[in-house]
């Protein structure tokens, strides 16, 4: 039985981490920490466990063997490093850090301490993405030529715990990056995993087009990103991240292959829709994508706990998190310089 500590008690903890740990029989939530004590208390009241007065106090608890780091982005690296050094396995939310240097230090600390570091990239665990990759591996679709992948919704002020334009997601000091880090990093991880190739070149437009803060001034981070990408083997594609999709959420990926087109999470009824060159259509009715309004099991906590129980490093480790982060950072650099950036 692994004791779990939750650091950061906002929406991602409430919707995914805490209930998913609670649903398992091989772990027990020992306690919670959040600088807004009331949030930790609410989780403790509902799921049991104690409220710690500081990160240090939680990490000093010998009953805790693993922690989830669910804080604003700027705290991911320092808290993860401290937790690893305290002998805890760590599941850290994405983006894993605010720089490649921080990410490398997290990876080095995990290696030095012998503890697991996993990053919460849940998209590659979604059932349609898993099935899509299985289909691609059979060769049925031929070779992938181009792609487009999109993640957009109305913005974090509608679903984060702040429920306002005061949210930390809009503060550069805490978030360091906006829609590209919140949503784009998901797709950066997904696309390199799905096409089984590395992104080596990007040209990106990352900007603030519409969002304003509580003072009615433009937010300090981006609300939109449109990125053109090239993979090592010559696959071209686009990645779009947006906080200004004020209608329906879009979480789709389309792969244009030599034998046809595969659309993933584009059709609400059929999460995978394939159109072959001869216009034959094939539909796969696999699980629907998670949305802010429809939370389902992410698979992240299952992978993390299975790794701890088996002693085998989780697939989505620190190196995988760094690979996605490097794509995001390259897109930021391209937007700033106006140039194409080689990774």
Q: Are residues 218 and 311 in the same domain?
A: no
pLDDT along the chain (343 residues), means of 10: 97 96 97 97 97 98 98 98 98 98 98 98 96 97 98 91 84 96 98 98 98 94 98 98 96 98 95 96 80 66 98 98 98 98 97
Pairing of strands 253-257, 260-264: antiparallel
Altogether, the residues listed in the chain come to a count of: 343
Beta-bridge partners for 212: 218
- 25 Cβ contact list (under 8 Å, min separation 6): none
* Secondary structure class of 196 (helix, strand, coil): coil
Distance CA 83, CA 318 (A): 14
What pLDDT sits at residue 160?
Answer: 79
Q: Are residues 186 and 288 in the same domain?
A: yes
Contact 58, 40 (CB under 8 A): no
What pLDDT sits at residue 165?
Answer: 87
Q: Are residues 21 and 161 in the same domain?
A: no
> Which range marks the domain in which residue 29 is found?
2-122+298-315
CATH code at position 197: 3.30.360.10
Question: Residue 175 is encoded by which pair of tokens?
Answer: 């978030």
Distance CA 341, CA 331 (A): 8
Q: Are residues 188 and 281 in the same domain?
A: yes
Beta-bridge partners for 162: none
Q: Are residues 238 and 128 in the same domain?
A: yes
Q: Phi first, then psi: what are they for 211, rounded to 5°?
A: -65, 140
The number of beta carbons lying within 10 Å of the beta carbon of residue 180 is 31
Q: Are residues 164 and 251 in the same domain?
A: yes
Distance CA 238, CA 230 (A): 9
CATH code at position 14: 3.40.50.720
Q: Are residues 12 and 85 in the same domain?
A: yes
What pLDDT sits at residue 296?
Answer: 60
Q: Are residues 111 and 232 in the same domain?
A: no
What pLDDT sits at residue 132?
Answer: 98
Q: Are residues 223 and 333 in the same domain?
A: yes
What pLDDT sits at residue 288?
Answer: 62
Helix (H) or strand (E) holding 253: strand 253-257
What are the strands of the beta sheet with 199-207, ordered from one edge?
Answer: 281-284, 272-276, 260-264, 253-257, 144-152, 236-242, 224-231, 199-207, 341-342
Distance CA 343, CA 45 (A): 47
Q: Are residues 96 and 181 in the same domain?
A: no
What pLDDT sits at residue 161?
Answer: 77
Q: Are residues 268 and 141 in the same domain?
A: yes
Contact 277, 256 (CB under 8 A): no
Q: Phi first, then psi: what are they for 146, rounded to 5°?
A: -145, 170
Question: Residue 223 is encoded by which pair of tokens?
Answer: 């609300």
Question: Residue 207 is encoded by which pair of tokens?
Answer: 């900007």
Q: Are residues 111 and 150 in the same domain?
A: no
Beta-bridge partners for 237: 147, 229
Domain count for the chain: 2
What pLDDT sits at residue 159?
Answer: 77
């Amino acid at each position: 039985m692994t004791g779990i500590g939750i650091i950061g008690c906002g929406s991602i903890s409430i919707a995914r981490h805490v209930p998913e740990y609670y649903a398992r029989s091989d772990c027990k939530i020992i306690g919670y920490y959040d600088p807004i004590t009331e949030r930790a208390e609410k989780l403790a009241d509902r799921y049991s466990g104690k409220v710690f007065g500081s990160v240090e106090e939680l990490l000093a608890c010998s009953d805790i063997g693993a922690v989830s780091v669910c804080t604003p982005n700027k705290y991911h690296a320092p808290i993860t490093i401290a937790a690893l050094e305290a002998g805890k396995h760590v599941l850290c939310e994405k983006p894993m850090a605010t720089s490649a240097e921080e990410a490398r230090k997290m990876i080095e600390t995990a290696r030095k301490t012998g503890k697991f570091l996993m990053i919460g990239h849940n998209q590659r665990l979604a059932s349609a993405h898993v099935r899509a990759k299985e289909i691609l591996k059979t060769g049925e679709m031929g070779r992938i030529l181009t792609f487009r992948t999109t993640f957009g919704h109305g913005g974090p002020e509608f679903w984060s715990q702040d429920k306002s334009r005061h949210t930390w997601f809009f503060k550069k000091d805490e978030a360091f990056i906006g829609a590209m880090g919140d949503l784009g990093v998901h797709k950066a991880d997904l696309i390199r995993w799905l096409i089984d190739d590395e992104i080596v070149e990007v040209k990106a437009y990352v900007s603030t087009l519409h969002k304003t803060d509580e003072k009615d001034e433009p937010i300090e981070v981006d609300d939109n990103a449109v990125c053109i990408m090239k993979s090592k083997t010559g696959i071209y594609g686009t990645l779009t991240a947006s906080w200004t999709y004020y209608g329906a959420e879009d979480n789709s990926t389309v792969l244009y292959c030599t034998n046809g087109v595969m659309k993933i999470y584009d059709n609400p009824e059929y999460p995978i829709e394939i159109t072959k060159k001869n216009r034959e259509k094939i539909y796969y009715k696999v699980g629907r994508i998670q949305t802010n309004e429809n939370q389902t099991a992410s698979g992240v906590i299952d992978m993390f706990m299975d790794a701890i129980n088996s002693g085998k490093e989780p697939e989505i480790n620190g190196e995988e998190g760094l690979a996605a982060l490097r794509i995001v950072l390259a897109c930021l650099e391209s937007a700033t310089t106006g140039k194409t950036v080689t990774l």
